[in-house]
């Protein structure tokens, strides 16, 4: 099946209305690794319902999530070979720990890289407070359609990547993942079989199910919140990153962070960069350093 660019650009993605509970908020934090250090009381604010519960700022990626809609054959996309390329999160208003939200996803662009080179699909999701109609957050994604390309679509524009600074990072944070973490993360509504089904993963060219890119993002966001925000969620404004390689559940993610908010991440077991060209914006302390 060949992509029809006009059809795909206008493909209807239904709004998703989600009743958000405190349990959902806790599940998300647990699914990206919060609470693994039993002696770090700061993490308990995200996973202990008996405390003043807080929302991890990366949670908008799963709120009102439309599911793996590219699996619909009407898109014309080779869904087996789809991978997550880039992701950003921008917080516009404080996130609720419970309530009702609406996820409104639309396709914003399509780039045909040519026959045998795949295509890029750009999309944006608004996370809307159902009661007030206020937009709480924006998430933007780039999906790499590895099995497509050469369908006569536009050749640009391609979003530029954030340039990485020269020199060594000022901060390094190592956070482990767990072997079953992708199965836990799927409970947030991101049910791509690539992260659970060994046969599907093999067909996609991977030795075994891989961790969701958005789960990797959650782990990295935790590291950024620790270093640049001192676990103050009100300091977080936005993050943007590019996925460069998959993480296998059970590997340790090392996030390397510069004082200007630039970051990248690698897995220690393979010394391979899995996130690159990252940039985060936090409210700054008066000296311009990480907020304390």
Res 288: pLDDT? 47
Looking at residue 192, its pLDDT comes to 82
The predicted pLDDT at position 292 comes to 38
Query: Among residues 84, 162, 195, 279, which one is catalytic?
Result: 195
Show the beta-strand stretches assigned E in the chain: 16-20, 82-91, 99-112, 119-129, 135-145, 171-176, 236-243, 252-257, 262-267, 272-282
Domains of the chain, first to last: 5-282 (3.10.129.10)
Going by C-alpha positions, the residue among 68, 70, 67 that lies closest to residue 148 is 70
pLDDT under 50: residue ranges of the chain: 285-288, 290-292
Active site residue 212: no
Please write down the HEC assignment for all residues of 272-290: EEEEEEEEEEECCCCCCCC
The pLDDT of residue 284 is 62
Q: Catalytic residue among 78, 148, 190, 240, which?
A: 190
pLDDT value, residue 79: 85
Q: What is the maximum span of the chain, computed from C-alpha positions, in angstroms?
A: 56
Instruction: Return the exposure string of 213-249: e unless at least 16 CB atoms fall within 10 Å of the residue's CB, then b.
Output: bbbbbbbbbbbbbbbbbebebebbbbbbbbbeebbbb
213 flagged as catalytic: yes
* DSSP label of 247: P
pLDDT for the residue numbered 137: 98
**Annotated catalytic residue, options 76, 118, 153, 213:** 213
Region class of 244: left (phi > 0), else alpha (psi between -120 and 50), else beta: alpha
Give pLDDT, residue 1.
65
190 is catalytic: yes
Q: Per-residue pLDDT tens for 42-96?
A: 999 999 999 899 999 999 999 999 988 888 889 999 988 888 899 999 999 999 9
């Amino acid at each position: 099946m060949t992509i029809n660019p006009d059809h795909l650009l206008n493909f209807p993605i239904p709004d998703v209305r989600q009743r958000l509970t405190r349990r959902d908020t806790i599940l998300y934090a647990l699914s990206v690794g919060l609470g693994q250090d039993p002696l770090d009381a700061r993490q308990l604010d995200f996973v202990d319902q008996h405390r003043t519960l807080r929302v991890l700022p990366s949670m908008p990626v799963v709120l009102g999530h439309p599911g793996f809609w590219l699996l619909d054959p009407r898109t014309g996309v080779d869904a087996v070979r789809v991978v997550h390329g880039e992701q950003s999160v921008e917080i516009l208003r404080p996130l609720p720990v419970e309530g009702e939200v609406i996820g409104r996803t639309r396709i914003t662009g399509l780039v045909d890289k040519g026959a045998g080179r795949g295509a890029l699909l750009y999309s944006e999701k608004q996370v809307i407070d159902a009661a007030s109609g206020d937009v709480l957050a924006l998430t933007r994604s780039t999906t790499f359609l590895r099995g497509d390309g050469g369908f006569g679509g536009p050749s640009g524009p391609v979003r530029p990547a954030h340039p990485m600074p020269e020199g060594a990072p000022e901060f390094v944070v190592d956070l482990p993942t767990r072997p079953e973490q992708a199965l836990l993360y799927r409970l947030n509504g991101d049910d791509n079989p690539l992260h659970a089904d060994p046969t599907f993963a093999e067909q996609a060219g991977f030795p075994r199910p891989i961790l969701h890119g958005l789960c990797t993002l959650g782990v990295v966001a935790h590291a950024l919140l620790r270093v640049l925000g001192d676990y103050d969620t009100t300091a977080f404004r936005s993050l943007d990153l590019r996925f460069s390689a998959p993480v296998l559940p059970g590997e340790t993610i090392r996030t390397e962070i510069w004082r200007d908010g630039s970051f990248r991440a690698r897995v220690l077991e393979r010394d391979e960069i899995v996130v690159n060209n990252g940039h985060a914006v936090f409210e700054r302390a008066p000296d311009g350093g990480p907020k304390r």
